[in-house]
Copies of this chain bind each other. A is one copy, B any other.
Amino acid sequence: MYSFMNDYSEGAHPQVLDLMIKANLEQNGGYGQDIHSEKAKEYMKKAMEREDADIHFIPGGTQSNLLVIGSFLRPHQCVISADTGHITGHESGAIEATGHKVISVPCKEGKLTPYEIQRALEENAEEYTPQPKMVYISNSTELGSLYSKAELEALHAICKEKDLLLFMDGARLGSALMSEANDLALKDIARLVDVFYIGGTKNGALLGEAIVILRDELKTDFRILMKQRGAMMAKGFVLGIQFEALFQDNLYFDLARHANKMAEKIASSLEALDYTFYEKPVSNQLFITLPNTLLEKLSKEFKYTVQEKLDKDRTVIRLVTSWATTEESVDALIEFFKKNR
């Protein structure tokens, strides 16, 4: 049964795997100090047009989030997140375990705006309140939506004005950047945020995220902070090789484009069939409202995730495509929806 549950069901893209195989018996330096990690960083710096970027490879996303937030805040400082943010309800309290409160604010389409930040600051402006110091956003968000350039400029502006750090979780950054609805370049992101990461796990790598630090004063001792949180791998080159493969020839972007194309094919077909999208489909995550009767049938042929039970008759499901999604399975899925309309 084909799965559209998530974008981390398969291993690595063959080109990534090939480079790993090729480099397998080389002797490489430990702890991320190796030639492959160096090359990967060079390719990535070029891609974002920032020679001064400080880049580090980390096994996973929750780890990246807790490492960034736990490293850059003083003990009394907090982070503002959308209530749908991954750090709010999907990481078992990982951020709080580093000692920092997540101020969860309600918002639309999974995106923060200066309005919510301003309100959070006003509601937390006393000596006895939590002290906001960082803003956490995801792009694409947990609801598949994107930040436009204008929106990110606005967040950048309020963060600068209020002396807040701006951190972008890019676990699905590839899909965001390759969306037809997107007007942000990688270099814009590097200019507008203080720190972000480029997700490999969900876009062609076996595992790995690349944390990119742009603000100078945040760069100090980051490798030590990685080590302390258990995020520095003895075989750091295993991560470096993968990002080398992903960024030496734009493979990273090609893979994301494929994932989006597959999602778009599903979306346009379902829209033509008058299915209802719970969130506007713009990246590799699709949120569709379906009658439960249909869901029962669907579950016999495809795997998906239940996002929310809307009412007693309808359910919102999530379908996710990836670099590995095959066009045949997409066609089969569309066929299913046609047949059952």
Contact = CB atoms under 8 A, between A and B. Distances in A.
Contact of A228 (B75, B223, B229): B75
Interface string A76-107: 10100000000001111110111111100000
Interface in A123-172: 123-124, 127-131
Contact of A224 (B3, B66, B71, B92): B92
Contacts of A21: 17, 21
A161 to B, nearest CB: 19
B100 A78 contact: no
Interface string A32-47: 0000000000000000
A93 B75 CA distance: 9
Nearest to A4: B27
A92 B96 CA distance: 13
What 4 pairs across the A-B complex have the smallest Cβ distances? Answer: A63-B230, A11-B24, A96-B101, A9-B27
A12 interface: yes
Nearest to A124: B89
Contacts of A64: 230
Interface stretch (A231-239, A266-274, A291-299): A231-239
A131 to B, nearest CB: 6
A295 to B, nearest CB: 20
Interface of A: 2-3, 5-6, 8-12, 14, 17, 20-21, 23-31, 59-67, 70-71, 74-76, 78, 89-94, 96-102, 123-124, 127-131, 201-202, 206-207, 221, 223-225, 227-235, 237-238, 324
A232 B76 contact: no
A200 B324 CA distance: 28
Contact of A60 (B70, B101, B233): B233
Given A25-B11, A66-B230, A234-B8, A221 B91 contact: no
Nearest to A104: B104
Given A11-B235, A65-B230, A97-B228, 7 more contacts: A14-B24, A59-B207, A91-B128, A97-B100, A97-B229, A201-B235, A202-B234
A57 B93 CA distance: 21
B76 A97 contact: yes
B63 A127 contact: no
